[in-house]
């Protein structure tokens, strides 16, 4: 009997400044719901559409590593830290596609907030040629009803999860997961104000922040949605 094809590989890109339970719970839920073989959290080195975070890429990746310590299905993918220049998702997906080969299903996971700005991403029209895109709901954000992204969604959206397995790339799926209203922006603001962020992120990440005295700058400000 032929063995079943391996499950899709998922990639969740972000700044992870810092990683929090909104990222982690969404990652586990999407992994199980879509029966992904694994999911990689991929911290960017230099975000293309926002100011460089004051916390180094090494610190952000180290916190992702700590957060994933006990969950082998989730991994930290450091490729963007090893490349110079802006961290374009399309370049990372092209590299991963090259490693996986043309047949393996690959899924880029995005929150609703990231989807709204997708058309500002470098070569965004090429993304579906490399991967499927799975959009996950995020409290406070709605799918666009009109405009370029709404039209693009209409054109590519599938409601059938099986489409992630029947082709290696090319579909957009929208998933409602457990809503967790947690953001890195809020965590940075709380820390800058000297308030507790306990239970918003894993304890080892909190210990790392305290040990390295991260995010203590007074007047941390909110930033625009990420690429
Ligand atoms: P910031 O507040 O600094 O913008 P963030 O909390 O949005 O950060 P990112 O690292 O920018 O975190 O997010 C990476 C990816 O995870 C994005 O696609 C984002 O939409 C998604 N994401 C972040 N937080 C959540 C959450 N609470 N629920 C669902 N998706 C999330």
The pLDDT tens digits of the residues spanning 138-187 come to 888 899 999 999 999 999 999 999 999 999 999 999 999 999 999 999 99
What is the average per-residue pLDDT within 124-151?
95
pLDDT at 126 over 90: yes
Cα(197)–Cα(184) distance, integer angstroms: 10
Q: What pLDDT is recorded for position 46? A: 79
Q: Is residue 16 part of a domain?
A: yes
Global ipTM: 0.98
Q: Is the CB of 22 under 6 A from ligand 1?
A: yes
Q: What is the rounded radius of gyration, in angstroms, for the C-alpha atoms of the chain?
A: 17
Q: Please indicate whether residue 184, judged by its CB atom, sits closer than 6 Å to ligand 1.
A: yes
Q: Would residue 198 count as lying in a domain?
A: yes
- Here the CATH number for the domain that contains residue 205 is 3.40.50.620
36 in any annotated domain: yes
Mean pLDDT of the chain: 92
- The finding on whether 113 has its CB within 6 A of some atom of ligand 1 is yes
Asked if the structure places residue 110 within a domain, the reply is yes
Q: What is the rounded average pLDDT of the residues 44-68?
A: 86
Domain that residue 98 falls in: 9-211
Reduced to 3 states (helix: H, G, I; strand: E, B; else coil), residue 114 is helix
Residue 226 lies in a domain: no
Beta-carbon contacts of residue 145 (< 8 Å; ≥ 6 apart): none
Q: At a CB cut-off of 8 Å and minimum separation 6, what does 116 contact?
A: 141, 144, 149, 225
Q: pLDDT: is 23 or 6 the higher one? A: 23
Point out the ligand 1 atom lying closest to the alpha carbon of residue 43.
Answer: 10
Q: Which residue has the higher pLDDT, 50 or 219?
A: 50
Has residue 2 been placed in a domain? Answer: no
From 66, 45, 203, 33, select the one nearest 134 (Cα to Cα): 33
Tell me which of 117 and 1 has the higher pLDDT.
117
Domain count for the chain: 1
Q: Where are the alpha helices (DSSP H) in the chain?
A: 21-33, 57-67, 89-100, 112-116, 148-156, 163-166, 184-192, 203-211
Residue 180 Cβ < 6 Å to ligand 1: yes
How many contiguous H segments (helices) and E segments (strands) does the chain have?
8, 6
114 lies in a domain?
yes
217 domain-assigned: no
The SS3 of residue 116 is helix
Give the Å distance between the CA of 226 and the centre of ligand 1: 8
Task: Report the alpha-carbon angle 71-98-17, nearest 5.
Answer: 45
Helices 57-67 and 203-211: crossing angle in degrees, nearest 10, is 150
Instruction: Select from 23, 113, 1 the least CA-distant residue to 67.
Output: 23
Task: Report the alpha-carbon distance of residue 25 to residue 202 in Å, rounded.
Answer: 11
């Amino acid at each position: 009997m032929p063995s079943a094809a391996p499950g899709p590989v998922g990639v969740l890109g972000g700044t992870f400044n810092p990683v929090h339970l909104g990222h982690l719970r969404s990652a586990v839920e999407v992994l199980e719901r879509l029966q992904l073989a694994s999911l990689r959290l991929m911290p960017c080195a230099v975000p293309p559409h926002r100011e460089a975070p004051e916390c180094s890429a090494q610190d952000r990746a180290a916190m992702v590593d700590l957060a994933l310590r006990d969950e082998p299905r989730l991994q930290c993918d450091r490729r963007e830290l090893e490349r110079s220049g802006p961290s374009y998702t399309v370049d990372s997906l092209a590299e991963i596609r090259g490693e996986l080969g043309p047949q393996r299903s690959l899924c880029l996971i995005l929150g609703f907030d990231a989807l709204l700005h997708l058309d500002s991403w470098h070569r965004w029209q090429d993304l579906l040629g490399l991967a499927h895109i799975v959009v996950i709901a995020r409290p406070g954000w709605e799918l666009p009803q009109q405009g370029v992204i709404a039209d693009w969604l209409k054109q590519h959206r599938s409601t059938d999860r099986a489409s992630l397995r029947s082709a290696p790339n090319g579909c957009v799926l929208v998933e409602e997961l457990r809503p967790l209203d947690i953001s890195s922006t809020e965590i940075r603001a709380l820390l800058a104000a000297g308030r507790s962020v306990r239970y918003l992120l894993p304890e080892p990440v909190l210990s790392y922040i305290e040990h390295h005295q991260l995010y203590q700058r007074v007047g941390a400000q909110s930033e625009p949605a990420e690429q």
